[in-house]
Amino acid sequence: MDSNKKLGLIGRNISYSFSKKFFEDKFQKLMLKGYSYNIFDLNEINEIEGILSSPDLLGFNVTIPYKEKIIDYLDDLSDEAKKIGAVNCVLIENGKKTGYNTDAFGFEKTLLLHKKPHQDSALILGGGGAAKAVKYVLDKHGISSITVSRNSKTNFENLDHKTVKNHKIIIQCTPVGTFPNIDDCLVFPFEGISEDHLIIDLIYNPNYTQFIIKASEKGAKTVNGYYMLEQQAEKAWEIWNFQKK
């Protein structure tokens, strides 16, 4: 391995991020010298230009709110990233910047681990980059879905408990309830949730969001975003290290 390989995470207000510790532990476990993982906390996406000019940058992860905006700064996209319209992993090879979406991989593993046969339609809460990756995976597995966001036909004002009752998978893709704002919760008709439901909240910090707590009180199976996060990070590591040189 070459010395000095820089990796990192771009996002906004991301000091709480899991990624830095995850990758630094990995460098240690694999006894890799000369690797570093940095947090690039950007107020605006155009600040990325300074980071991209760094000579030893091998790649980086992308999180809220830049998964869609980063695309304008890249040279190429993987097929999945193209279809999804969002990127959470970038590889830089010989100056060429390619965007990938490993959220889809991580979410798919989570979904298939927990989904029961009767859970065949879904509500996706949120309209950002993560929600797009979730929709891509649901479509791939023939699971019909409705996206609930501020600007969609079904939104948080008109979502009723009957719609919730009829969609047995609910994926919470908004940042509402993330540390440090752990008391926040989406306005949501929880009375539509039953023990037939699978609730996946993509948030991993805290372990139990208010959304998960309220859903589990209705008897639903609940899962947080930690496994998805680990899986997408492993996939990113693979992309950065196992490309044909």
- Note whether 168 and 198 are within 8 A (CB): yes
Span between the terminal Cα atoms of the chain, in Å: 12
Per-residue pLDDT at 142? 97
* The two three-digit tokens of residue 15, written as one number: 């000091």
Average pLDDT of the residues of the chain: 94
CATH number at residue 16: 3.40.50.10860
Q: Is 67 a catalytic residue?
A: yes
Sort strands 59-62 and 89-93 into parallel, antiparallel or unpaired: antiparallel
H or E element at residue 150 = none
Q: Which of 5, 20, 67, 135 is catalytic?
A: 67
Beta-carbon neighbour count of residue 168 at 10 Å? 23
Same-domain status, 220 and 111? yes
**pLDDT one-digit tens code per residue, 199-209:** 999 999 999 99
How many Å apart are CA 195 and CA 118, to the nearest integer?
12
Query: Picking from 1-15, 78-92, 156-170, which range would have the lowest pLDDT averaged per residue?
Result: 1-15
Range of the domain at 212: 104-227
CATH number at residue 202: 3.40.50.720
Tell whether 160 is covered by a domain. Answer: yes
Same-domain status, 141 and 177? yes
H or E element at residue 235 = helix 226-241
1 pLDDT above the threshold of 60: no
Query: Which of 71, 101, 131 lies at the terminal end of a domain, its last residue?
Result: 101
* The two three-digit tokens of residue 87, written as one number: 């990127």
Q: Per-residue pLDDT averaged across 110-133, rounded?
A: 97
- Note whether 121 and 163 are within 8 A (CB): no
pTM for this prediction: 0.92
Same-domain status, 139 and 217? yes
Determine the number of helices (DSSP H) and then strands (DSSP E) in the chain.
8, 11
pLDDT category of residue 52 using cuts at 50, 70 and 90: very high
- Note whether 70 and 98 are within 8 A (CB): no
Q: Per-residue pLDDT averaged across 40-44, rounded?
A: 95
The percentage of residues in the chain with a pLDDT greater than 70, rounded to a whole number, is 97
